[in-house]
Amino acid sequence: MIRLHSRHCLVTGADGTVHSLDGDALRHDLRRAFRACGITEDWSADHLALVIEEHVASRPEADHPPLAERDLHAMVLALLPAAGFEDVGRAYAGLVPEAAMPLDQDPFRPWDRGRIDADLEALLPLAADERAAIAAQTEAALASLRLAQVRSDLIGSLARHFLQRRSAPCPEAATDSPWCLPPGAWPVGAVPDAERLIAAGVLSAFPVSRFLPRLRLELDLCRLAGSSGTPPLAEIVLLPALARALDGVVALFAEAHRAVWAVLPPPERRLPMHLRVRSLDDCVRNAMLPQCPRARKALCHDIRATIEAKLLAAGHTAMLLTFR
């Protein structure tokens, strides 16, 4: 199922005002926290920031109010130790304004599967099937402890423990690498024209972490226009080039999916996928033949429809499509 997201991700601040999630600021703070602990490469920070963004983007607007800023920071502070970065979590906590820190109101209460599901939905930005697997393990662990009442902190700690175990390398993989696909390791050579598109900056492939693995590609429409001819371009030039690039996207996702099968245990082999499309409005406004506002709007609609149709035709069952 293709999940289309183009609206702003909304969060509620400590003062009650609703504003758009600033993904760049979240990435910046995570990078600062990692660097404070001596980790200078940015891939891990960027991966965790994208996990949060994707979770917020995927929340059904009709069923969920905007995410509270406190809850967003609580998710980050839950993910970091689960990924093995307890020190980075402490550094990140030092960057969060006191008014936005998660509240410590956690009394002992009776527990059941419904409470576990609710606590984990608020704490861990996981896909539904991932969260269900963690919840089942947490429920079994609590049942074995025979505790009638527990704090949410215990539920969260157990869930983080099982999440960390799920992201550990398989024994048969004979590696302690944190990556399923390291930076630059996507199988682009197996897809015609993919190397050219990546070299031109039209496509960008993100590394795939063992911790909450996701397949992510980014398609830059302005760079696609620039690589397709000298702007301004006619629709008859851009749209076929877009269709060919999307064929490459679909094939790259399929090749990457096959590549990670060798390094992930069977329950985790159905990876969520995310295609980010950049610069749609800028491309239509600046790289296409001069048009009236109504024609530009219609062309934006046609480009979106082309992208959605191509991804739907590929039959992917877990795809998030976002426009930035």
Residue 149: is it exposed, middle or buried by C-beta count within 10 angstroms (0-12/13-18/19+)? exposed
Domain locations in the chain? 2-100, 109-166, 179-323
What is the phi-psi region of residue 156: left when phi exceeds 0, alpha when psi lies from -120 to 50, beta otherwise? alpha
Query: Are the CB atoms for 56 and 11 separated by under 8 Å?
Result: yes
Nearest Cα to Cα of residue 301 among 55, 62, 4, 20: 4
User: φ and ψ at 110, to 5 degrees?
Assistant: -60, 150
pLDDT, average across residues 19-26: 86
Give the global pTM.
Answer: 0.80
Q: In which band, very low, low, confident or very high, does the pLDDT at 135 lie, cut at 50, 70 and 90?
A: very high
Q: Residues of the chain with pLDDT > 90: what percent?
A: 50
Token output for 18 = 């609703």
Q: In which band, very low, low, confident or very high, does the pLDDT at 62 lie, cut at 50, 70 and 90?
A: low
pLDDT over 50 at 71, yes or no: yes
pLDDT, average across residues 263-276: 72
Q: What is the DSSP letter of 64?
A: S
Task: Find where tokens 């402490």 sit.
Answer: 90
Q: In which band, very low, low, confident or very high, does the pLDDT at 237 lie, cut at 50, 70 and 90?
A: very high
Q: To the nearest 10°, the Cα dihedral for 140, 145, 150, 156? A: -50
Task: Find where tokens 């709007």 sit.
Answer: 297
pLDDT over 50 at 174, yes or no: no
Q: What is the three-state SS of 214-247?
A: CEEEEEEHHHHHHHHCCCCECHHHHHHHHHHHHH
Distance between CA atoms of residues 257 and 271, nearest Å: 7
Token output for 36 = 């404070």
Q: In which band, very low, low, confident or very high, does the pLDDT at 266 lie, cut at 50, 70 and 90?
A: low
CA 279 to chain centre: 19
Query: Are the CB atoms for 73 and 100 separated by under 8 Å?
Result: yes
Strand (E) positions, the chain? 2-5, 10-12, 18-20, 67-68, 109-110, 149-150, 179-181, 203-205, 208-209, 215-220, 273-278, 319-323
Q: Which of 12-21, 206-215, 228-237 has the lowest mean pLDDT?
A: 12-21
